[in-house]
Structure 1
Amino acid sequence: MRFLRLIQNEMMKIHSKRNSWFYYLFLVMGVIASAILMKYMIPAAGETINFVEFSNYMKMALAPFITIFAVVMGAQTITEEFKDGTIKQLLIRPASRTAVLLSKYVSIILIVLIAYAVLLFVSLLTGVVLFGTSSPGDVSFAILYKKILYDLPGMLFIMTLSFFLAVVFRGIGLAISVAIIANFIGGLLITMLSKYAWAKYIIFANTDLTVYDPDPLINSGMQPPFAGMTLGFSLAVILAYIVVLLIVADLIFVKRDIR
């Protein structure tokens, strides 16, 4: 019960800041602007899709911004506590430092899920209004939901990396920049190391889970970067990296002298 109160407190603090609501507003406005553009300025595109396909387009276009949102929140929730000096007030509570840290981490996960829910709801609703439900389409609800589920583990790792760096260095700029750069150059790194079998244990070889789905509408013809890799293997690698980052972050946070 105490841990749930900590999460509730973190959620209230996050949503008390205007920049959190700006992210949601950005997603909403991005969906609406895209729908108007496709419907009235590119009518040929708008006439060939239905509301589910439109939502799929919005997921592909705006999901990267949710990843950036997750990275920023992962860094901000820790660094701002140190910057404002409120970390002292937080740690004098009866809850352990581990519980405090985990409550922040869980709160960020919930915020990311809310952002995805906002994107999905607004894009489906806008799609129904402007594109209707009768046009046949290749993308089904199942495909759309599976694509979102495949995105989440990799995004969770990048968010965890940002969270970890914020705990270690207490600097928001470094935590955000390193996490975002790592997210973009990870694929290049795997390509450079593709001749080494051990490279399959590098996290960035495992973050694209769509390659394991047999549906070409999901995998886009891509294959796992290394032979013998499976969905279970990649999920296990992602989980291992996340657990290690959280354990190290917790050890540093528990032992750190807060003045």
Structure 2
Amino acid sequence: MSSIFSLIQNENMKIYRRFGTWFMIGLLALATLAGALIIKATHKEPENWKAEVASEIKRMEAELSEEKLPKMYKNYLKQQLKINEYRLEHNIKPVAPNTFWGYLVDSADIIALITLFTIIVAAGSVASEFSWGTIKLLLIRPASRTKILLSKYIAALLFALCMLLLLFIFSAVVGAAVFGIENIREPYLAYQNGAVVERSMLFHVVQVYALNCADLVMMATFAFMISAVFRNHSLAIGLATFALFVGPQVTALLAMKFDWAKYLLFANTNLTQYIDGTPLVEGMTMSFSLMMLLVYFVIFNGIAWLIFRKRDIAA
């Protein structure tokens, strides 16, 4: 067991010794600061938030009167209607983007940038060993190929986790500095078991970050698989990046016409659709998406392990 830990430590040293890694961290900090400054400069506070919410309630009521609304979207509107009515009744202002909590929630979108960074790290994890010719030196060690591959994969995921923690810290510091913490005690309103309940905003933010990690883990795993199978750094980055940006769009188009689209990877990576939205395909549930993600996770890692374990290094 100690050998796997030493291998992971070795892989982490490789990652954090690179200038590119620290450049990514710098870009992450810059992105959080730039996002806050843009929101502060462009967001306009409504003169009367109660009037805005009341107008939204009327719009939803008018939309609910239509007969041809999909059932799942209709249920979503009903839930949002109840939440808005609760806001007016208890004088709870909607969480605006130019607030501490609002910015922390919005900063979860920057996880897409972390996904891109992790793709770069995961794609080069195996492929770079072949391109640099260091794979033979690595395999003469007493550790098995399985342990070597596992250590590289774990190191890539630890890099992603480190970037997520940094994003949360950067966003909290920037959010507090730019927007202040006057509204830090605001609750998050959720619809649960037929009633509106008040929850901790911190719990909601952590939940949003955690659910956004599904895409991060799956794309990192996909890039890692391509790296192990084709031993090509550029190909792994290119395919994974293309899938990251094009996959969800194609899946959304297919989901409009075909129910079988729910079995595609990108129909299930956006787990936040189960918090304040509607599933891409009617009938999808959180448990279904988690099961599909597990299937793809096993397939990607299984292919990477099988090819790496049987490959002739001299080839």
Return the TM-score normalized by structure 1. 0.89
Q: Which residue of 1 aligns with 2:193?
A: none
Residues 88 and 52 of structure 1: is their aligned pair in 2 closer, same or farther, counting only changes over 3 Å?
A: same
Q: Which residue of 1 aligns with 2:295?
A: 240
- After superposition, residues 87-236 of structure 1 pair within 5 angstroms as 87-135=135-183, 140-194=201-255, 195-213=257-275, 219=276, 222-236=277-291
Q: Which residue of 1 aligns with 2:312?
A: 257
Which one of 95, 104, 113 corresponds to residue 55 of structure 1?
A: 104
Secondary structure of the residue aligned to 1:257 is: coil
Aligned length: 249
The alpha-carbon deviation at position 17 of structure 1 amounts to 0.5
Please give the per-residue CA displacement for 1:140-194, whole angstroms capped at 9, x wherever unaligned: 2222111111111222111111111111111111111111111222223323433
d(CA) in 2 for partners of 1:145, 1:119: 12
Give the AA of the match of 1:107. A
d(CA) in 1 for partners of 2:215, 2:33: 27
Unaligned stretches of 5+ in structure 1? 214-218
Secondary structure of the residue aligned to 2:272 is: helix
The alpha-carbon deviation at position 38 of structure 1 amounts to 4.5
Q: Which residue of 2 aligns with 1:27?
A: 28
Give the AA of the match of 1:256. R
Larger radius of gyration: 2
Secondary structure of the residue aligned to 2:174 is: helix
d(CA) in 1 for partners of 2:282, 2:38: 42
- After superposition, residues 28-43 of structure 1 pair within 5 angstroms as 28-39=29-40, 41-42=41-42
Contact 2:108/2:212 (8 A) holds in 1:
no
The alpha-carbon deviation at position 22 of structure 1 amounts to 0.7
Contact 1:154/1:238 (8 A) holds in 2:
no
Cα RMSD of the aligned pairs, angstroms, is 2.0
Secondary structure of the residue aligned to 2:243 is: helix
Secondary structure of the residue aligned to 1:232 is: helix
d(CA) in 2 for partners of 1:209, 1:9: 33
Contact 1:49/1:135 (8 A) holds in 2:
no
Please say which of residues 240-249 and 28-37 is displaced more in the overlay: 28-37
Q: Which residue of 1 aligns with 2:116?
A: 68
d(CA) in 2 for partners of 1:183, 1:228: 24
Please give the per-residue CA displacement for 1:74-128, whole angstroms capped at 9, x wherever unaligned: 1011111111111111111111101100110011111001001101101101222
d(CA) in 1 for partners of 2:278, 2:167: 28
